[in-house]
Structure 1
Amino acid sequence: MLGMAQKLDLDELICKLLNVGSPGCSLTKTVKEQEIMHLCLLAKEISFDYNLLRLFDRGGFPPFVNYLFFGDYVDREIQNLETISLLLCYKIKYSENFFLLRGNHECSVINRVYGFFEECNYRYQSLPVKCRCMYGGLSPQLKSIDQLRQITRPIDPSNPSIHIDLLWFLFHNYLQLVRSRPLLKRCQANNRGLSYTFGPDVVMETCQKLDIDLIARAHQVVQATIFSAPHYCGQFDNAAAMMNVDESLVCTFQILRPSMKCGKVVPK
């Protein structure tokens, strides 16, 4: 169990929890859902709000003072997750100095009614938006993420519309054309007859406008993109690709090159 606790880095997690409320240090921004789940898994093997911090400030912080809590750590408050997370961290790190009894609100049938269950779902119901994925691309009409959330589903998109752009937009590296033709608009008509084409400058502006770090798309046969059909339609000598995105949003590609002889895909 000590090895699991070291992987979690309890000192770092305790520091994050003690700093919740500082500018830019909300719980959902600094503590990952995976860390909460790992913490609960560790705590299960052993057995905050502002007022909790006041108690520690007055009585002393662990491990310099031994504590026994009687229960009811969640419900009827607005920072249940911070409270129980900090208590579990201290219990795991200082198991001989810090003790937690179970109260009646540490039962799922109770905390489903009095707030804790709802708070968990509300605060961790979705991941922070960092990467926007779509089939086609961007839309000149796209001003905020909320526009995408408000799209009625199912829908048969009409032309022109933001829905058509998300399906038909094409990416084109036309910056050299812009230099030679200054009046060229950044969003050009799509030669397929629907939507537009766009370039890297539009991508960068959209990332800033929507506060996201990455845009991923497919829809075109090029040398490297998320297009999973090698030897497309039996006419193109293209490779297929899968994109791996790590926690730091660093993207790497796995290339699957077509094998013309046996009709199989050969991984590289």
Structure 2
Amino acid sequence: MSADLAAASTHGNLDEEIAQLMQCKPLSEPEVRALCEKAKEILMDESNVQPVKSPVTICGDIHGQFHDLAELFRIGGKCPDTNYLFMGDYVDRGYYSVETVTLLVALKVRYPQRITILRGNHESRQITQVYGFYDECLRKYGNASVWKIFTDLFDYFPLTALVKLNVFPHFLPVLHHIGPKRMKEIMIMILAFLGY
């Protein structure tokens, strides 16, 4: 089988999985495992400070509210038509954490240059055991395997993103006059202030 046919076959299957997830229907455990393995391959090539091209729609704290995520895509545009940056906290609290995080990971695998998914404080083993993702995985799959698959994947998520400057031209016109050296100094000060 040629590489093009293999890629088309893989994308076709992934497109079917995305369509299923868009209906808020979870994937099987083997499908989740295969998807997360593909995602790891992509995420291993990304930086912990991931550059993001603008224009970009920035979203945060979905917390398992799948229907809110669907509404974000309805209003903001579907991926890959819109470039998205998700700031973390995909799981816990809401009833559809599995479907939410699986959809975002599937979109990341399908459109790696159009969606960035960062690691929030809820993408950790300890937090997910307290706030609901662990219990949801047990309820939906009958064991903790899917929880372990995802929490292992979370270790690969970038920690932060750097949106290219041209996202701010109307709000911060003074930045057009700052050279790259000074901009780097400003970013270092901001990161130091934030404790990085």
Which TM-score applies when normalising by structure 1? 0.41
Identify if the C-alpha distance between structure 1 residues 43 and 76 changes in structure 2 by more than 3 Å, giving closer, same or farther. same
Q: Kindly indicate whether the alpha-carbon contact (under 8 Å) linking 1:73 and 1:84 is maintained by their aligned counterparts in 2.
A: yes
Contact 2:89 2:120 in 1 (8 A): yes
Identity over aligned pairs, percent: 42
Structure with bigger RCO (C-alpha 8 Å, 6+ apart) = 2
Alpha carbons 2:91, 2:133 under 8 Å: kept: yes
Q: Deviations over 1:133-159 (max 9, x none)?
A: xxxxxxxxxxxxxxxxxxxxxxxxxxx
Query: Do structure 1's residue 6 and structure 2's residue 2 form an aligned pair?
Result: no
Larger % of helix: which?
2
**Among 116, 125, 147, the residue aligned to 1:99:** 116
Q: Which residue of 2 aligns with 1:19?
A: 23
- Show CA shifts across 1:19-74 (max 9, x none): 23xxxxx43xxx32110111121122232500000000000000000001110110
Q: How does 1:1-268 map to 2 (within 5 A)?
A: 6=10, 9-20=13-24, 26-27=25-26, 31-47=27-43, 49-125=66-142
Q: Give, as a single letter, the amino acid of the residue that structure 2 aligns with 1:10.
A: L
Q: Residues 120 and 62 (structure 1 numbering): CA distance in 2 closer, same or farther, change over 3 Å?
A: same
Secondary structure class of the residue paired with 1:104? coil
CA displacement at 1:9 relative to structure 2? 1.4
Is the 2:11–2:110 Cα contact (8 Å) retained in structure 1?
A: no
In 2: Cα distance, 1:16 partner to 1:82 partner: 10
* 1:52–1:7 Cα change, 3 Å: closer
CA distance in 1, matches of 2:128, 2:12: 26
Taking only aligned residues, the RMSD between alpha carbons, in angstroms, comes to 2.2
The answer (yes or no) to whether the contact 1:8–1:35 under 8 Å persists in 2 is no
Task: Name structure 2 gaps, 5 residues minimum.
Answer: 44-64, 144-196
Q: Distance in 2 between matches of 1:64 and 1:45?
A: 23
- Conserved 8 A contact 1:8-1:38: no
Structure 1 outlier segments of 4+, above 4 Å: 2-5
Q: Note the C-alpha offset of 1:8.
A: 8.1
Separation of aligned partners in 2, 1:82 and 1:58: 19
Equivalences, count: 117
